[in-house]
Copies of this chain bind each other. A is one copy, B any other.
Amino acid sequence: MELSTLTDQKSLLATMAPGKRTRLHRLLYEFGPGNGTLLLLPIDQGIEHGPRDFFPNPASKDPEYQFRLAAEAGYSAIACQIGLATKYYPDYAGRVSLILKINAKTDVPSSDDAFSPLNASVEDAVRLGADAVGYTLYVGSPRQDDDLAQLKTVREDCDRFGMPLVIWAYPRGSAIEKKGGQTTFYAIDYAARLAMEMGADIVKLNMPKVDPEKDKLTPAPYNEMDYTQDDAIRGCVESAGRALVVLSGGSKIDDEELLAQTRSIMEAGGSGVIYGRNVWQREWDAAVEIVEQIRQTVVSSVRRTP
- Taking beta carbons and an 8 Å cutoff, which residues of A are in contact with B? 1, 3-4, 6-7, 9-10, 12, 15, 46-47, 50-52, 55, 58-59, 61-64, 80-84, 86-88, 90, 104-106, 108-110, 115-121, 124, 139-142, 144-146, 148-149, 151-152, 155-156, 171, 173, 175-176, 179, 186, 189-190, 192-194, 196-200, 219-222, 225, 235, 238-239, 241-243
15 A-B contact pairs sorted by A residue (CB < 8 Å): A46-B197, A47-B194, A50-B186, A51-B235, A62-B238, A82-B155, A83-B200, A84-B197, A106-B190, A108-B144, A108-B171, A110-B175, A117-B145, A119-B198, A124-B156
- The reply to whether B87 and A242 form a contact with Cβ atoms under 8 Å apart is yes
Q: A50-B189, A82-B155 are in contact. List 13 more A-B contacts (CB 8 A).
A: A3-B55, A6-B59, A46-B194, A51-B193, A51-B239, A52-B186, A52-B220, A83-B197, A83-B198, A87-B241, A104-B197, A105-B148, A119-B198
A23 to chain B, nearest CB (A): 16
- The reply to whether A108 and B179 form a contact with Cβ atoms under 8 Å apart is yes
Complex interface: chain B residues within 8 A of A148 (CB):
104-105, 117-119
A54 to chain B, nearest CB (A): 8
Complex interface: chain B residues within 8 A of A241 (CB):
62-63, 87-88
Known interface pairs A118-B149, A189-B50. Does A199 touch B86 (Cβ–Cβ under 8 Å)?
yes
A87 to chain B, nearest CB (A): 5
Complex interface: chain B residues within 8 A of A63 (CB):
241
A36 to chain B, nearest CB (A): 17
Complex interface: chain B residues within 8 A of A116 (CB):
145
A34 and B213 alpha carbons, distance in the complex (Å): 52
A61 to chain B, nearest CB (A): 6
A79 to chain B, nearest CB (A): 13
A149 and B15 alpha carbons, distance in the complex (Å): 33
- The reply to whether A1 and B55 form a contact with Cβ atoms under 8 Å apart is yes
A43 to chain B, nearest CB (A): 9
- The reply to whether B108 and A175 form a contact with Cβ atoms under 8 Å apart is yes
Known interface pairs A52-B220, A106-B140, A186-B50. Does A87 touch B243 (Cβ–Cβ under 8 Å)?
yes
Counting chain B CB atoms within 10 Å of each CB, which of A1, A88, A121, A194 scores highest?
A: A194
Question: Given B86, B176, B189, which contacts A15 in the complex, CB threshold below 8 Å?
Answer: B86
Complex interface: chain B residues within 8 A of A235 (CB):
51
Question: Given B80, B106, B193, which contacts A47 in the complex, CB threshold below 8 Å?
Answer: B193
A256 to chain B, nearest CB (A): 26
Per CB-CB distance, the 4 closest pairs between chain A and chain B, nearest first, are A108-B140, A83-B197, A50-B190, A109-B175
